[in-house]
Amino acid sequence: MKKRGFLAAILLVFLSEAAVVAIFMERNRETPQDVVAANKIVKTLEQNWDALAGNGQGEPRAGSSMEVWEGISRGAGEGFQITVLDCDGKVLLKTKEHLSETISQAVSHRDTILDIGQGGEAAGKVILHNPWEEESAARRRSTAVWFLLLLSLQAALLLGYGAGLYGMLVKPFRKLEGFAERIAGGNLEVPLEMDRQNLFGAFTESFDIMRAELKKARLAEAEANAGKRELVAQLSHDIKTPVASIKAASEVGCALAESRRMKENYTQIIQKADQINTLVTNLFTATLEELQELPVFPADLESGELGGLLEQADYLHRAKLPSIPPCLVWADRLRLQQVFDNIFANSYKYAGTDIEVWAGRRGSQFVVTIEDSGGGLPEEELYSIKEKFRRGSNAGAVEGAGLGLSISEYFMDAMQGSLTVENGAHGLKVTVAVPLSGTAGLQEQSGIGSHGLSRSGS
């Protein structure tokens, strides 16, 4: 219906423009003068010629002026303007300023020129002013005004339609661009906002279905990895127990051995037992090193862009975002987006409350503090909540792999920043700190490291 209404409005504007052009062309023709009225003017002037010519200065002679003017008025009718000349070209009467005063001017203005006779001879001439130029100028002004109004209306309609097309076509694809960037970065928590009434609603919905399926696959993979880690831990325990027994027995045997050769044999058994123990430990540790596969490339970043990252992370619009003071920070835009996404997603899942956000400079760092009103965590859980596969006691039946804060801390370490988790006034408070541009290398040199903020969030 909107499309039909717009097309009808555009068609109406075009038809109006065509009508204005047609009216202008029709009215642009020169209107012929009234021949009867012109003859009456000539007759009146001939009858009162002595009164006009006797003065010689364009004014009626005393005693007959009223008769001359009344005669001219009756002869010319309302709206006629005339100039009267004698045979020498002298102006005897002019009813309005800016009228033609010579025959050449009258010809150029397309005025009507008639002879005034006296006694069968030409006594003078009367120039009937042709108002075509004034009327044409007025018509042009009127037509220009109408055209400007119609063009303005047409431009407004086209701008409105362009804005509609942007919202219907371009904007959804812009969202898809940022969505694809997040998916490529491994963030599967933030859903794709969509309008089912939009032309591409079903198209964009399929992308969000893909995200949901990828998230399920990620969770299944995490569960499989957890099972693998449990198996490795169990095998590690099962292997280490007999190895420890072998090592203990070998140490006893070495202590009781009488010959050098026996001591060397027992010593070799102890060394191999230690080697097996080290290999099992390395095998267990290797399962915790997947994070090293996620590259981080920090660079100079305008702090104003952090507002856009926070806005994208707060897809449920539960936070009142602050104004961002201008400066340059040292961060990876994609990875910082993932950090904010993980923090907001955790707040949505485990707290479900409004979120307070503060942002500003603090020393050589730019700090963003995000706090919900969910009550926080027990103090004993705060120091381990950032470990891999660690979830708080408030997780309950909410799905999750326990990787968000661990991955976020890895990203912040790689950006020489910090991630601090603590209990705030109303709930869990997470502080993200990134170094200001030009200070990242100085932090390493001065020994500040990647954790410039303490756990107290000072």
Residue 199 · residue 168 · CB < 8 Å = yes
Which segments of 314-372 does DSSP mark as H helices, in order?
Answer: 333-350
- The residues, any chain, with a CB within 8 Å of residue 293's CB and separated by 6 or more, are none
* Helical pair 201-256 and 260-286, crossing angle rounded to 10 deg: 170
For residue 354, give the DSSP letter: -
Spatial separation of the C-alpha atoms in residues 16 and 216, rounded to whole Å: 59
Q: How many residues does the chain have?
A: 458
Q: How many CB atoms neighbour CB 273 within 10 A?
A: 21
| pLDDT value at residue 436 | 92
8 A C-beta contact, residue 52 and residue 64: no
> Within a 10 A sphere around the Cβ of 190, how many other Cβ atoms?
25
SS3 content of the chain, % helix, strand, coil (to 5): 55, 15, 30
As a whole number of angstroms, the distance between CA 106 and CA 119 comes to: 26
Instruction: Read off φ and ψ for residue 95, nearest 5 degrees.
Output: -85, -10
Q: What's the gap between Cα 450 and its chain centre?
A: 35
pLDDT of res. 338: 85
**How would DSSP label each residue in 419-444?**
EEEEE-SSSEEEEEEEEBTT-HHHHH
pLDDT per residue rounded down to tens, the chain (458 residues): 466 776 777 777 777 777 766 766 665 555 666 777 778 888 877 877 777 776 444 444 444 434 555 556 555 555 578 888 888 888 887 777 788 888 888 888 888 888 888 877 888 888 888 877 777 777 778 877 877 887 788 788 778 777 777 766 666 666 666 666 777 666 666 666 666 555 566 666 676 777 777 778 877 877 777 666 666 655 665 576 577 778 888 888 888 888 888 888 888 888 788 778 766 765 655 555 554 556 789 999 998 899 989 988 887 889 888 899 999 999 998 889 889 988 998 888 888 899 999 999 998 999 999 999 888 888 888 877 877 777 777 666 666 666 778 888 888 999 999 999 998 888 899 999 999 988 765 544 444 333 333 333 32
Phi-psi region of 370 (alpha: psi -120 to 50; beta: other; left: phi over 0): beta
Report d(CA 203, CA 211) in Å as an integer.
Answer: 13
Q: Give CA–CA dist 150/17, Å, rounded.
A: 7
Per the CB < 8 A criterion, the answer to whether 312 and 345 are in contact is no
pLDDT, tens digit, 9 for 90 and up, residues 182-238:
776 666 666 666 665 555 666 666 767 777 777 788 778 777 776 666 666 556 655
Residues 6+ apart with CB under 8 A from 82: 41, 72, 76, 93, 94, 95, 99, 126, 127, 128, 129
pLDDT of residue 451: 36
- Contact between 266 and 253 (Cβ < 8 Å): yes
What is the rounded CA–CA span in Å between residue 129 and residue 114? 11
CA distances from 225 to 219, 275, 287, 293 (A): 10, 26, 8, 16
Among residues 78, 338, 355, 376, the alpha carbon closest in space to that of 184 is found at: 338
In 3D space, the residue among 357, 350, 360 whose CA is nearest the CA of residue 317 turns out to be 357
What is the pTM assigned to this prediction?
0.43
